[in-house]
Structure 1
Amino acid sequence: MKVPSHVVGFDDAPFPRRGAAAVPVVGVLYSGRRLVGVVRGDVARDGDDATEVLARLVGGRFRGHLQAVLLQGIAFAGFNVVDLPELARATGLAVLAVARRAPDLGRIRAALAAVPGGEDKWARIVRAGPMEPLAGVHVQRAGIGRHEAEALVRALQLEGRVPEPLRVAHLVAGGVFRGASRGRA
């Protein structure tokens, strides 16, 4: 099995809890261990457009080389939940949502009750399947088997448990939109 070498990692920028309608999303593209590009888009806070926006960003200039998409969790900009199987289908690529620890699904479901379209968003989370512990992180995946996903995550763990494209996307998003990066990816 060959581990994908051309991947993009996405994270959203910090945003205020009130008043932000559009939240920037940053994607960093890697060829092996080398950063080769950056893409940016906007998603609606607690909206319903993350899957479409990410598919458009993936389908841009770098699409010919990409083999996998990594997401810093399954939701962006609050509760703008990505439809993992749909993103994998639309892009033709493996998609992994990565988290440092397993989510508290009870709290997430309760919080979604107060969000417009919460039931549909919950259905997307369920459709993505359970988060599996892999290589020291938790992963939901579409379009890639468990062993291939684990090999990909391990190959990209350069500076800790979080795969390097996600770590760098987090730093870039924070630095560009806050003025300086801070915190952990």
Structure 2
Amino acid sequence: MKTGGFSYVVGFDDFPFERSHRGNVQVVGVVYNGLRLEGVLSGQVRRDGRNSTRALTGLIQHSKFYPSLQLVLLQGIALGGFNVVDIQALSDNLGLPVLVVSRRKPNLAAIEAALRKVRGGKQKWALIQKAGAIEHVAGVYVQRAGLSVKQAEHVLRRLAVHSHIPEPLRTAHLIAGGIATGQSRARP
């Protein structure tokens, strides 16, 4: 597993979508080398589906950036509604650490209740639990695979320039919102 200084990082967020939307949801990944934007990746996941881990694995592995990447950042553990990423499998598949970042502490009771209404909800809840404890680090909440709390804190402090959210995630959020709605919103 590559665990260097985490200079080359990709951060993913999903596009906003209407509550009534069914089908695929666009995702965007931005690649940073330190604080320099190096590139953009885009793909799709199924709304409330089960393909986010496979989709992200393929998107990253088939990119020209993969050989240089040292860390994957996710804006929350699910994309496209409740398409929960298996962060342990993603880390194993790519040979890279994965860090899930949330501005606010997720309400696990509410998430578990909502998952009871979603197809495959039990398996999705198991993936959230498998991701490990939600930890408060450097002003945000994280779950992690393949890196220590100390390494996570180092990454967050180095990449969070304009807020507590790391620049790759902040940029992915801005790009996704701008493309989907014609203008971006400031807060991921």
Which TM-score applies when normalising by structure 2? 0.96
User: Out of 53, 56, 63, which is 1:54 matched to?
Assistant: 56
Q: Which residue of 1 aligns with 2:35?
A: 33
Question: Per-residue displacement from partner, 1:57-107 (whole Å, max 9, x unpaired)?
Answer: 111211010000000000011100000100000000010010011111000
**Structure 1: gaps spanning 5 or more residues:** none
User: Out of 133, 136, 144, which is 1:133 matched to?
Assistant: 136
Q: Which residue of 2 aligns with 1:77?
A: 80
Q: How many residues align?
A: 185
Secondary structure of the 1:38 match is: strand
CA–CA distance in structure 1, aligned partners of residues 186 and 151 of structure 2: 29
Q: Which residue of 2 aligns with 1:63?
A: 66
Structure 1 residue runs of 4 or more that deviate by more than 2 Å after TM superposition: none
User: 2:188 aligned with 1:177, yes or no?
Assistant: no
Q: Which amino acid aligns with 1:17?
A: R
Contact kept, 8 Å, 1:174 with 1:181, in 2: the verdict is yes
CA–CA distance in structure 2, aligned partners of residues 40 and 182 of structure 1: 19
Contact kept, 8 Å, 2:11 with 2:29, in 1: the verdict is yes
Q: CA deviation at 1:19?
A: 2.8
RMSD of aligned C-alpha atoms?
1.1
Contact kept, 8 Å, 1:3 with 1:151, in 2: the verdict is no
CA–CA distance in structure 1, aligned partners of residues 183 and 82 of structure 2: 25
Q: Which amino acid aligns with 1:44?
A: R
Q: Which residue of 2 aligns with 1:42?
A: 44
Question: Per-residue displacement from partner, 1:143-169 (whole Å, max 9, x unpaired)?
Answer: 111111110111101111000000000
Q: Which residue of 2 aligns with 1:162?
A: 165
CA–CA distance in structure 2, aligned partners of residues 136 and 41 of structure 1: 29
User: 2:159 aligned with 1:151, yes or no?
Assistant: no
Which TM-score applies when normalising by structure 1? 0.98
Q: Which residue of 1 aligns with 2:9?
A: 7
Counting only pairs closer than 5 Å after superposition, residues 85-104 of structure 1 correspond to structure 2 as 85-104=88-107
Question: Per-residue displacement from partner, 1:10-36 (whole Å, max 9, x unpaired)?
Answer: 000011111331000000000001000
Secondary structure of the 2:67 match is: coil
